[in-house]
Structure 1
Amino acid sequence: MPTRTPTDTTAHRLKGLLETLLQTPLPVRLRAWDDSEAGPAGAPVVVVRHRRALRRLVWQPNQLGLARAYVAGEMDVEGDLYDVLARLAPLLWRAPGVKDVPLRSVMGEAVRLGIVGSNPKPPAEEMTVSGARHSRSRDRQAISHHYDVGNDFYRLVLGESMVYSCAYWTSDDPGYGLADAQRDKLDLICRKLGLRPGEHLLDVGCGWGGLAIHAAREYGVHVVGITLSTEQAEFARKRVAAAGLSHQVEIRVQDYRDLDDGPFDAIASVGMAEHVGAGPYRDYASILYGRLKPGGRLLNHQISALHPATGPGDHKQRSFIDAYVFPDGELAPAGTTVTLLEEAGFEVRDVHALREHYARTLRAWVANLESEWSAAVNVTTPGRARVWRLYMAASALAFERSHIGVNQILAVRTHRDGASGMPATRSGYLA
């Protein structure tokens, strides 16, 4: 019987197949389902547990194919997940489409590895929304997919603050943690809005009520918070009641397009505008402008695209984020957002970039998830927990490497005579 050479193992064949599919050398080490290994010594290990993972990549040789295999548990990582993602990111973002793969060159090896077959059904956690893009019904589907996955799960990930947006880290002291940074972010927003007792604040995309409660308790304002997530609204109402603030805070399940009250003294939109979409954004800005009193301020906290290769409306290749995390989510450059707010009538007064703060926030969330992994799996599904781990770790790297950014844009609806009521310097809210 011939001796099996190191270059004739399943892992070496697998490595050659993947490099042909992805059209680039692999920067990680592979371990196949028979425990054979191939790839750079000392590199982090990607474990291929099942042939089905390869079948997914034959049909979808890009980030979506890899994500499906990871979410399904057919592929895993040994070692530092951030290191693996950093090594794979360049080829994932530039991976070829199915039509670009030379199938003849991989079919023989695919047959020998036993991975030829029909395209496997995506994991149950993958979402396909229906209806017209950014219609009310489709937006409700998208929001429900992301936010209605269980408040217990989000509590494990987000921690006691239950705030799901970029924190504001003002200290490096060992005793200063995520809850402190989220509190400081909420207070920063309230200071930028210049809130005073008795005023009325609209919180668009109010989440689990963190900002509404902080603004009502610390600044004495009345708050209307709106969300499309029924689970968020139920949780927020309970928090408001427990804080003794039901007379000051109202939480609604409501689309921003259906607002018919106001005008408000101030509006906060934190981590919500990414769901609006490029097409409806002009209407979104106009609606918020119309809900503000003259002299009222808007704080728009929004993730932005940095140096985008394509426009925000390019949806030709479905991404992992669209399929599993934020269906229909769209990122625009900060300049585009500023322009649309100005076209709606706002005067933009301040743009505060918080990119590094979001990277640190995401790493804190990943640490929470990993430390509570068994509990997280028990309150949702193993696949859902893997989706969130992958998405948050990859997003942390994207912020760190300046692929995406996040900005707080402070704008005002000026009075007819041009008066803004804004302080002369930033010291009033950046203290």
Structure 2
Amino acid sequence: MSSGGAAGRISSLVERLLGHPLPLAIRTWDGAQDGDAGGPTLVINSRRALRRLLWQPDEIGLARAWVAGEIDVDGDLEEALSRLDDAVRSINGRPRLTAAERADVMRVAVVLGAVGPPLKAPVEEAALGGEQHSKSRDRTAVSHHYDVGNAFFETVLGPSMVYSCAYWTGDGPDYTLEDAQRAKNDLICRKLGLEPGARLLDVGCGWGSLVLHAAREYGARVVGVTVSTEQAEYAKRRIADSGLAELAEVRSDDWRDVDDGPFDAVASVGMAEHLGAAQWPEYADRLYELLRPGGRLLNHQIVRNGRGRRATQVRGDRTFIDAYVFPDGELLPIGNVVHRLEAGGFEVRDVHALREHYARTLRSWVQNLDAGWSRAVDAASEGRARVWRLYMAGSALSFDAGRIGIHQVLAVRPHDDGRSDMPMVRPIEWST
């Protein structure tokens, strides 16, 4: 279906640039619609979206228009992203526009009234300064992602307040996200061999859910650290309300500042993605030093799979994730994670892939966000809610496709004589 107008002009231009039609219908601010893909429709609400793309013709230009509400999707967002995936990758991987292509773009922009000075980026876009992965910059990067209001995260994450991949050991309508997050926390505690009185360090403890679980269910003495002020305050209140202050504490500290080892176990859940490859040697060395001989480390993190290498991104441009979600974050292949732990002195004992579990977790969070959209917007901003809607839907597709994965790596600090204190046979509950 074509009704001309702005939609027809944009569709024609996109087809010339990509070499094929856009796999979505387009509807523009003038009410015109072009194409009928039998599915979702890309809605361009404002000429400002085109102006952004004139000045920033890449993923960031699209992201800014999305966050600002200048483009939207009418219909299923995941289906739209799936259809757009190849088109976006071809944009990221192609060279700069030729002079003739730039002239075509400019002619359409002039006709549509989209020419003008560059627009400011939405306030939700991260702008970091200082040396990358310095303590101050890391604190700012973490704050950008996490310090957006605990009410926002309560809406998205639900009562468990766990912001990492759940472990779905059940199914059906009676098995909830909270059940799956409880199962994940329990799996970690079992892998770490926690017993009453054992000292556990939770690096990047978030809102304290694992801290509370380990103290309440296993009688462990737990220290959690986070550089997010809002997370630390929230976790401290939860500990006090639970009557577990004698067993659990949360500090607003950087992992590099923890100096009261040794610990019997260390958990790092969803934290190592923030490190960056250059920090890994210091990270592995520090956690090794904090553990007693025979102590165990459980490192739970998202990784980049082989097919997830961004070989098509030839210019090293920022991505939506870099700019709006995890500034300074970096995903490593699982082989690199294992290698770096071994280089730090650890013996890796178990590697557990949970890729499909994270896709399901993300979709549960999306359902929570959709159901509580007004509350989420009130707690943060509409732009922030749009960031999370796009990030979670797109990430679910990336896990489905195997471009990214997530693994729990269980490692041990051996005794000087090589003893590991690990069981000879892997307990069945580690892999079920």
Q: TM-score, normalization: structure 1? A: 0.95
Q: For residue 90 of structure 1, what is the amino acid of its counterpart?
A: D
Whole-angstrom CA distance in 2 between matches of 1:258 and 1:24: 54
Whole-angstrom CA distance in 2 between matches of 1:314 and 1:46: 26
Q: For residue 110 of structure 1, what is the amino acid of its counterpart?
A: A
Q: For residue 5 of structure 2, what is the amino acid of its counterpart?
A: T
Whole-angstrom CA distance in 1 between matches of 2:314 and 2:201: 32
Unaligned runs of 5+ residues in structure 2 are none
Q: Which residue of 1 aligns with 2:328?
A: 328
Q: Which residue of 2 aligns with 1:136?
A: 135
Contact 1:264–1:291 (8 Å) recurs in 2: yes
Whole-angstrom CA distance in 1 between matches of 2:62 and 2:50: 9
1:15 corresponds, among 11, 29, 36, to: 11
Whole-angstrom CA distance in 1 between matches of 2:4 and 2:315: 40
Whole-angstrom CA distance in 2 between matches of 1:41 and 1:264: 57
Q: Which residue of 2 aligns with 1:107?
A: 106
Q: 1:159 to 1:315 in 2, by over 3 A?
A: farther
Q: Secondary structure at the match of 1:302?
A: strand
Q: Secondary structure at the match of 2:277?
A: coil
Q: Which residue of 2 aligns with 1:84?
A: 80
Whole-angstrom CA distance in 1 between matches of 2:315 and 2:411: 30
Contact 1:47–1:78 (8 Å) recurs in 2: yes
2:93 is aligned with 1:94 = no
Give the alignment of 1:64-79 within 5 angstroms. Answer: 64-79=60-75
2:50 is aligned with 1:54 = yes
Q: Report deviation, 1:98.
A: 7.8
Whole-angstrom CA distance in 2 between matches of 1:287 and 1:304: 21
Q: Report deviation, 1:16.
A: 2.0
Q: Which residue of 2 aligns with 1:380?
A: 380
Whole-angstrom CA distance in 2 between matches of 1:51 and 1:270: 43
Q: Report deviation, 1:58.
A: 1.9
Q: TM-score, normalization: structure 2? A: 0.95
Q: Which residue of 1 aligns with 2:33?
A: 37
Q: For residue 59 of structure 1, what is the amino acid of its counterpart?
A: W
Higher alpha-carbon deviation: 336-345 or 101-110: 101-110
Q: Secondary structure at the match of 1:99?
A: coil
2:409 is aligned with 1:412 = no
Q: Report deviation, 1:105.
A: 2.3
Whole-angstrom CA distance in 2 between matches of 1:235 and 1:341: 31
Contact 1:362–1:393 (8 Å) recurs in 2: yes
Whole-angstrom CA distance in 1 between matches of 2:390 and 2:131: 29
Contact 2:4–2:34 (8 Å) recurs in 1: no
Q: Report deviation, 1:292.
A: 0.3
1:69-101 Cα distance to aligned partner (Å, 9 max, x none): 111011111110100011111222331468335
Higher alpha-carbon deviation: 156-165 or 114-123: 114-123
Q: For residue 241 of structure 1, what is the amino acid of its counterpart?
A: A
Q: Report deviation, 1:385.
A: 0.5
Q: Secondary structure at the match of 1:26?
A: coil
Q: 1:314 to 1:20 in 2, by over 3 A?
A: closer
Q: For residue 222 of structure 2, what is the amino acid of its counterpart?
A: V
Q: Which residue of 2 aligns with 1:236?
A: 235
Pairs aligned (count):
426
Q: Report deviation, 1:173.
A: 2.6
1:27-78 Cα distance to aligned partner (Å, 9 max, x none): 0000010111002341310110100001112222222211111110111111
Whole-angstrom CA distance in 2 between matches of 1:271 and 1:315: 28
Q: Which residue of 1 aligns with 2:390?
A: 390
1:134-160 Cα distance to aligned partner (Å, 9 max, x none): 111110110000000000000000000
Q: 1:376 to 1:333 in 2, by over 3 A?
A: same
Following superposition, which runs of at least 4 residues in structure 1 exceed 6 angstroms of deviation? Answer: none
Q: Report deviation, 1:429.
A: 4.0
Q: 1:128 to 1:23 in 2, by over 3 A?
A: farther
Q: Report deviation, 1:260.
A: 1.2
Whole-angstrom CA distance in 1 between matches of 2:157 and 2:97: 41
2:23 is aligned with 1:27 = yes
Q: Report deviation, 1:17.
A: 2.6
Give the alignment of 1:270-309 within 5 angstroms. Answer: 270-307=269-306, 308-309=308-309
Whole-angstrom CA distance in 1 between matches of 2:315 and 2:283: 21
Whole-angstrom CA distance in 2 between matches of 1:83 and 1:14: 21
Contact 1:17–1:110 (8 Å) recurs in 2: no
Contact 1:205–1:271 (8 Å) recurs in 2: yes
Q: For residue 198 of structure 2, what is the amino acid of its counterpart?
A: E
Contact 1:21–1:61 (8 Å) recurs in 2: no
1:310-362 Cα distance to aligned partner (Å, 9 max, x none): 59x99821000111110000000000000000000000000000000000000
Whole-angstrom CA distance in 1 between matches of 2:88 and 2:314: 17
Whole-angstrom CA distance in 2 between matches of 1:28 and 1:314: 26
Q: Report deviation, 1:274.
A: 0.3
Q: 1:213 to 1:386 in 2, by over 3 A?
A: same
Q: For residue 417 of structure 2, what is the amino acid of its counterpart?
A: D
Q: 1:22 to 1:238 in 2, by over 3 A?
A: farther
Q: Which residue of 2 aligns with 1:263?
A: 262
Q: Report deviation, 1:24.
A: 4.5
Whole-angstrom CA distance in 2 between matches of 1:95 and 1:372: 34
Report % sequence identity. Answer: 58
Q: For residue 233 of structure 1, what is the amino acid of its counterpart?
A: A
Q: Secondary structure at the match of 1:416?
A: coil
Whole-angstrom CA distance in 2 between matches of 1:227 and 1:74: 35
| Aligned CA-pair RMSD | 1.8
Q: Secondary structure at the match of 2:117?
A: coil
Q: Secondary structure at the match of 1:137?
A: helix
Q: For residue 135 of structure 2, what is the amino acid of its counterpart?
A: R
1:187-230 Cα distance to aligned partner (Å, 9 max, x none): 00000000011110000000000000000000001011000000
Contact 2:211–2:224 (8 Å) recurs in 1: yes
Higher alpha-carbon deviation: 45-54 or 97-106: 97-106
Whole-angstrom CA distance in 2 between matches of 1:41 and 1:220: 57
Q: Which residue of 2 aligns with 1:170?
A: 169
1:357-384 Cα distance to aligned partner (Å, 9 max, x none): 0000000000000011111111111101
